């Protein structure tokens, strides 16, 4: 293993190179731009051989890779924020058409007002589209999850698109020591689809119209498939960790000092701040959600069943519920427990404001006095 | 509760051309008929039939009533007036 | 039935459908080594109702506005697979290709990808119930531009998409009509013989949306061409040539054949004739 100090975007571009996509399409948007530029440079230098479509919008970027994936080729794109929102309609299509596209989402706030800094309103808002969503804590994890994503997406038991989410700027534009494997060997075998291709010798129709009954069944199948994808995510995480000596917890969640009475919970790079707090104190441990979709309900229940208090720090808001989606979903997961922990939601980091460890600690310290279900907005 | 029926992944159809099982002839209210004495088999009706129900065999136009929706374009484009139509009683 | 056709019968287009004639004629010219990327619309929804499909060639539909972008991806995937033979066709109606999907079409043309873009133009959003499109002609009554006590139908002139195509420096642009199948097939074959982006715009009357008898589809299409309402031409590397010299029948004959123009008075039609003549002369009398 050789560590190189690399910007997050450069590191992710290198991981994409290792996975050998056949077709990529990008539309530039801050803070995704460095990934697009670096991959374009890899192609320009002959280090990555693939077809690059310089599209005129994010809508066309995803539409183009839907076309290339449906034609049977490994396909990749990346975007952020407004770009992801523009893709909204075709996100559903990519999942419903069962196309194993991998997309890095470099998380950024949504307009209005326009803002280029990091939060998760963009990807969390797309949670119901049928895409698997994995969140990276570090640049190393962004690299590893990107590699694993191709393997998971193309597994015959899955065949679903995956978003690998990484924080805009905090990861994408930050230099960190990263190991880029020299080769990933046969970790990702050649993509040979048996379900979807466009070959005039073996014609098929993709994207058909469906009346209520078959539509209903197809959506039910999709729902069952993404639920069951947790098995493959776990397996791939385990195989990756055997081969590369690194893992993302169990693939779905990651815990740190989880034997303590308080659990502080988050996704993405904010886990770094939370780890710092956990190391400083003796009353709290960390639960980090790696896979937001599929939502690892059982793993979460298992990790939280003996807790007195759980506090969720999240960089998204489900407007109209006062808090974030992760809070609502974890609260709902814990409903089945006889002895339910106190739960507190913290909306933080919206529009890229710093989340200070002092503030995190203050919330932990005042949790005792807060009502169960309280939501705090950390400005 | 009803069980899910079996579906192909992603609603993909590989049995291409299987709409031929759908007999759109049942839509028809007017029926064209060909006078074989006049028909020259020129194929103009075949060219313009929107539903692919016409073939030319032995220099004669054959209409496949399984699919003919009764639009009567064939009657209208026939240069020899070999096709006539009437109300179809079913 | 015509078993050799690449489009099997049994699809549910309306009786006398002009676009169905367009697609059947198109497929006679393409051969079977193609991929069709179809925008949402009449043809898409009537030919691919799960678990059935009429298409005997590889076919994909994703959404209304992205047929050209999907075709871009399909083309590059085939290249990546070492296949530069199979022709990729982006296909849709005037809504899908010229309005909501036009950005994707323009992007494809600008990138210069080897894809044939085809619009079957029935001059309104027929699949949703005859709403006006950018391609609806001047003064046609549609469900969103109804003629009324103070309205004479659509206010704007038909959008000139072939000219926009030429502005993208396409090596081949052509217009065609379902009433002139030999001309249409010649243009499709020529388009497919040229590498790069190309555009064929096919006029395809809709009996339901234009309000005429289903038997008259070809007659109406022919009248459009002979009255100069729709001209048949090709533009090769910017050089424009008429492929059919119109007889110059009165525009009135065309307009009166359809009820979407029935609100127009004789004076209105005189005005219409002048605009059509001026527009044709500007293009072809040089």
Token code pair at residue C229: 């309402």
Give the pLDDT mean for B17-43: 97
Residue B2 scores a pLDDT above 80:
no
User: How many other β-carbons are positioned within 10 Å of the β-carbon of residue C269?
Assistant: 18
Taking CA–CA distances from C107, the nearest residue in chain A reads: A56
Residue B5 scores a pLDDT above 90:
no
CB-CB neighbors (< 8 A) of C37 in chain A: 67
Size of interface A-B (CB pairs under 8 A): 44
Q: In 3-state terms, what secondary structure has residue A149?
A: helix
- Residues 6 or more apart in contact with residue C193 via CB below 8 angstroms: none
Pick the CATH number of A253-377 from 3.30.1330.10, 3.40.50.720, 3.40.50.920, 3.40.50.300: 3.40.50.920
Residues of chain A with CATH 3.40.50.970: 3-244
Question: Given CB atoms, is A97 within the 8 Å cutoff of chain B?
Answer: yes
> Which residue matches tokens 């004639």?
C21
> Percent of chain A, pLDDT > 70?
100
CB contact under 8 A, A210 and C58: no
CA distance A78 to A94: 14
Q: How confident is the model at residue B14 (pLDDT cuts 50, 70, 90)?
A: very high
Q: What is the pLDDT of residue C1?
A: 79
Interface test with B, best of C5, C6, C7, C9 (most B CBs within 10 A): C9
8 Å CB contact between B15 and B7: no
Give the pLDDT mean for A347-352: 98
Interface of B with C in 23-52 (CB under 8 A): 23-24, 27-28, 46-52
Q: What is the pLDDT of residue C268?
A: 98
- Residues 6 or more apart in contact with residue B9 via CB below 8 angstroms: A98, A159, A195, A196, A221
- Residue extents of the structural domains in chain C: 18-284
CA separation, residue C70 to residues A16, A93, C77 (Å): 22, 12, 11
Give the pLDDT mean for C247-262: 98
Residue A8 scores a pLDDT above 90:
yes
Neighbours of B, requiring at least 3 CB pairs below 8 Å, are A, C
Question: Given CB atoms, is B71 within the 8 Å cutoff of chain C?
Answer: yes
Give the pLDDT mean for C179-207: 98
Give the pLDDT mean for C78-99: 98
| CB nearest B73 (choices: C3, C48, C215) | C215
Residue A351 scores a pLDDT above 80:
yes
Q: What is the pLDDT of residue A222?
A: 98
CATH topology of domain C18-284: Rossmann fold (3.40.50)
Q: For residue range A278-317, list pLDDT tens digits in order.
A: 999 999 999 999 999 999 999 999 999 999 999 999 999 9
User: Longest Cα pair distance anywhere in chain A, in angstroms?
Assistant: 69
User: How many other β-carbons are positioned within 10 Å of the β-carbon of residue A199?
Assistant: 15
Q: What is the pLDDT of residue A318?
A: 97
Q: What is the pLDDT of residue C88?
A: 98
Neighbours of A, requiring at least 3 CB pairs below 8 Å, are B, C
C205 alpha-carbon distance from chain centroid: 9
Phi, psi of C117 (to 5 degrees): -95, 130
- Report the gap between the CA of A118 and the closest CA in chain C (Å): 29
Q: For residue range B46-90, list pLDDT tens digits in order.
A: 999 999 999 999 999 999 999 999 999 999 999 999 999 999 987
8 Å CB contact between C57 and C38: no
Taking CA–CA distances from C43, the nearest residue in chain B reads: B50
CB contact under 8 A, A96 and B10: yes
Q: Where are the alpha helices (DSSP H) in A155-211?
A: none
Token code pair at residue A319: 């407007």
Q: What is the pLDDT of residue C2?
A: 79
Token code pair at residue C209: 């949306």
Residue C280: exposed, middle, or buried by beta-carbon count in 10 A (0-12, 13-18, 19+)? middle
Q: For residue range A140-191, list pLDDT tens digits in order.
A: 999 999 999 999 999 999 999 999 999 999 999 999 999 999 999 999 999 9
> Percent of chain C, pLDDT > 90?
97
Token code pair at residue A136: 């990276």
- Residues 6 or more apart in contact with residue B72 via CB below 8 angstroms: B30, B32, B85, C16, C213, C214, C215
Residue B28 scores a pLDDT above 90:
yes
CB contact under 8 A, A196 and B12: yes
CB-CB neighbors (< 8 A) of C215 in chain B: 71-73, 75-76
Give the pLDDT mean for A352-363: 98
- Residues 6 or more apart in contact with residue C149 via CB below 8 angstroms: none
Q: What is the pLDDT of residue C286?
A: 64
Size of interface A-C (CB pairs under 8 A): 158
Give the pLDDT mean for A215-240: 98
C159 DSSP assignment: P
Q: How confident is the model at residue A213 (pLDDT cuts 50, 70, 90)?
A: very high
Taking CA–CA distances from A49, the nearest residue in chain C reads: C80
CA distance C234 to C165: 12
- Report the gap between the CA of A206 and the closest CA in chain B (Å): 5
CA distance C32 to C26: 11
CB contact under 8 A, C58 and A60: no
Pick the CATH number of A3-244 from 3.30.70.270, 3.40.50.970, 3.30.420.40, 3.40.1790.10: 3.40.50.970
Taking CA–CA distances from C46, the nearest residue in chain B reads: B19
CA distance C179 to C247: 14
pTM equals 0.98
| CB nearest B11 (choices: A202, A210, A220) | A210
Interface predicted TM-score of the whole assembly (ipTM), two decimals: 0.97
Cross-strand pairs, C199:
C117, C173
| CB nearest A51 (choices: C79, C103, C107) | C79
Give the pLDDT mean for C219-244: 97
Q: Which of A83, A78, A251, A63 is nearest to A151 (CA)?
A: A251
| CB nearest B53 (choices: C7, C9, C14) | C9
Question: Given CB atoms, is B53 within the 8 Å cutoff of chain C?
Answer: yes
Q: For residue range C11-54, list pLDDT tens digits in order.
A: 999 999 999 999 999 999 999 999 999 999 999 999 999 999 99
Residues of chain A with CATH 3.40.50.920: 253-377
Per-chain mean pLDDT for chain B: 96
Taking CA–CA distances from C7, the nearest residue in chain B reads: B17
CB-CB neighbors (< 8 A) of C48 in chain A: 205, 207-209
Q: What is the pLDDT of residue C237?
A: 86
CA distance A78 to A39: 11
Neighbours of C, requiring at least 3 CB pairs below 8 Å, are A, B
Question: Given CB atoms, is B62 within the 8 Å cutoff of chain C?
Answer: no
């Amino acid at each position: 293993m050789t560590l190189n100090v690399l910007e997050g975007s450069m590191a992710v571009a290198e991981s994409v190179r290792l996975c050998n996509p056949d077709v990529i399409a990008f539309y530039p948007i801050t803070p995704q731009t460095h990934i697009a530029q670096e991959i374009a440079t890899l192609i320009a230098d002959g280090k990555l051989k693939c077809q690059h479509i310089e599209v005129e919008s994010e809508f066309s970027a995803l539409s183009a890779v839907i076309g290339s994936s449906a034609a049977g080729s490994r396909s990749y794109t990346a975007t952020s924020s407004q770009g992801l929102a523009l893709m909204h309609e075709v996100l559903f299509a990519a999942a419903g058409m069962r196309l194993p596209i991998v997309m890095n989402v470099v998380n950024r706030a949504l307009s209005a007002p326009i803002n280029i800094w990091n939060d998760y309103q963009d990807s969390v808002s797309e949670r119901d589209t049928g895409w698997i969503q994995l969140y990276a804590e570090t640049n190393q994890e962004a690299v590893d999850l990107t590699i694993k994503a191709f393997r998971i997406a193309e597994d015959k038991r899955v065949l679903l698109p995956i978003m690998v989410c990484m924080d805009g700027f905090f990861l994408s534009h930050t230099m960190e020591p990263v190991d880029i494997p020299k080769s990933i060997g046969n970790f990702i075998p050649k993509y040979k689809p048996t379900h979807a291709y466009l070959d005039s010798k073996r014609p098929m129709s993709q994207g058909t119209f469906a009346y209520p009954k078959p539509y209903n069944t197809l959506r039910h199948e999709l729902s069952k498939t993404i639920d069951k994808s947790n098995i493959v995510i776990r397996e791939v995480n385990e195989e990756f960790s055997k081969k590369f000596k690194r893992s993302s917890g169990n693939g779905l969640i990651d815990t740190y000092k989880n034997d303590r009475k308080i659990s502080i919970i988050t996704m993405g790079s904010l886990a770094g701040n939370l780890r710092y707090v956990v190391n400083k104190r003796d009353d709290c441990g960390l639960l980090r959600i790696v896979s937001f979709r599929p939502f690892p309900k059982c793993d979460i229940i298992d990790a939280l069943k003996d807790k007195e208090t759980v506090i969720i720090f999240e960089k998204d808001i489900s407007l109209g519920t006062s808090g974030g989606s992760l809070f609502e979903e974890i609260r709902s997961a814990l409903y089945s427990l006889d002895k339910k922990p106190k739960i507190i939601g913290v909306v933080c980091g919206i529009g890229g404001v710093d989340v200070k460890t002092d503030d995190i600690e203050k919330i932990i310290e005042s949790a005792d006095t807060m009502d169960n279900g309280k939501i705090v907005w950390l400005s | 509760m009803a069980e899910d029926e079996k579906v192909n992944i992603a609603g993909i159809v590989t049995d291409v051309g299987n709409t031929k099982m759908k007999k759109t002839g049942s839509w028809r209210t007017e029926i064209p008929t060909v006078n074989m004495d006049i028909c020259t088999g020129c194929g103009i009706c075949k060219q313009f039939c929107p539903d692919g129900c016409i073939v030319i065999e032995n220099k004669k136009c054959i209409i496949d009533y399984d699919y003919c929706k009764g639009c009567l374009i064939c009657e209208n484009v026939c240069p020899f007036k070999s096709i006539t139509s009437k109300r179809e009683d079913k | 039935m015509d078993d050799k056709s690449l489009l099997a019968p049994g699809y549910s287009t309306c009786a006398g459908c002009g676009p169905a004639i367009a697609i059947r004629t198109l497929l006679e010219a393409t051969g079977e080594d193609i991929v069709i990327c179809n925008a949402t619309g009449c043809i898409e929804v009537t030919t691919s109702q799960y678990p059935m499909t009429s298409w005997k060639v590889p076919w994909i539909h994703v959404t209304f506005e992205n047929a050209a972008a999907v075709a871009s991806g399909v083309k590059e995937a085939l290249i990546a697979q070492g296949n530069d033979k199979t022709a990729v066709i982006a296909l849709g109606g005037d809504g899908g290709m010229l309005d909501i999907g036009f950005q994707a079409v323009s992007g494809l043309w600008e990138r210069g990808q080897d894809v044939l873009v085809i619009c079957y133009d029935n001059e309104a959003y027929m699949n949703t119930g005859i709403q006006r499109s950018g391609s609806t002609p001047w003064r046609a009554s549609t469900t969103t531009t109804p003629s009324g006590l103070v309205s004479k139908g659509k206010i704007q002139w038909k959008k000139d998409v072939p000219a926009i195509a030429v502005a993208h420096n396409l090596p081949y642009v052509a217009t065609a009509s379902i009433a002139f199948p030999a001309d249409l097939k010649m243009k499709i074959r020529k388009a497919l013989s040229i590498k790069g982006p190309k555009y064929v715009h096919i006029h395809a009357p809709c009996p339901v949306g234009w309000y005429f008898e289903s038997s008259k589809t070809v007659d109406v299409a022919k009248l459009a061409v002979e009255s100069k309402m729709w001209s048949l031409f090709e533009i090769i590397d910017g050089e424009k040539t008429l492929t059919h010299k119109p007889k110059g029948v009165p525009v009135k004959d065309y307009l009166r054949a359809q009820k979407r123009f029935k609100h127009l008075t004789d004076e209105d039609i005189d005005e219409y004739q002048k605009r059509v003549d001026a527009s044709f002369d500007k293009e072809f009398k040089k």
